[in-house]
Structure 1
């Protein structure tokens, strides 16, 4: 069995979170008051990047899964907290995905 197969649920959740953050990022850039969305845009990028990186690292068998998952959980929590400040549907959906991802990461961290 390949080592990443034990992390199937986490891999799926990381990918979903990355997609939600990328969607939120893109939608935030189209909002009327983009300056108001700056912090959300920044955390979306950070979160999408760490989720994508962790997903890739797991599939190549990194020995740092626990450490990276801990960092990913923190960034996901920060992104969720920022997105929850905004009423936009894309922000609320992103926050849900980030909360779920943070929980999955904590199981591995």
Structure 2
């Protein structure tokens, strides 16, 4: 694992966690946003855990990154359906994180 790529992926995961949590806050209380809310909650959890696993250079990092990329892609697909600014920022952060995690999982 290249240290710069590792640090970039950790940062992408942390940025995605923040974007997802912001989107969760935006979606709370809106029944029409329940799928978006669920995806963002799952994504924030896996991104945070993935960042921690990578930070300690776990031998399981590649598997975590593969899972994280899959969940980020699902979250991006859901968030892009909505016009809310928080959803659009989340979509972008999820795509960046998925890309970084795919690289780390390879």
TM-score scaled by length of structure 1: 0.90
Which residues of structure 1 form unaligned runs of 5+?
none
Alpha-carbon separation, structure 2, partners of 1:72 and 1:89:
23
Q: Pick one of 40, 48, 51 that aligns with 1:55.
A: 51
- Please provide the CA RMSD for this pair: 1.4
Aligned to 1:103: 99
Task: Answer whether contact 1:76 1:101 (CA < 8 A) is retained.
Answer: yes
The structure 1 segments of at least 4 consecutive aligned residues displaced by more than 3 Å after TM superposition are 3-6
Task: Answer whether contact 1:15 1:55 (CA < 8 A) is retained.
Answer: yes
Alignment of 1:1-109 (within 5 A): 5-6=3-4, 7-30=6-29, 34-109=30-105
The number of residues matched between the two structures is: 104
Which residues of structure 2 form unaligned runs of 5+?
none
Larger radius of gyration: 1
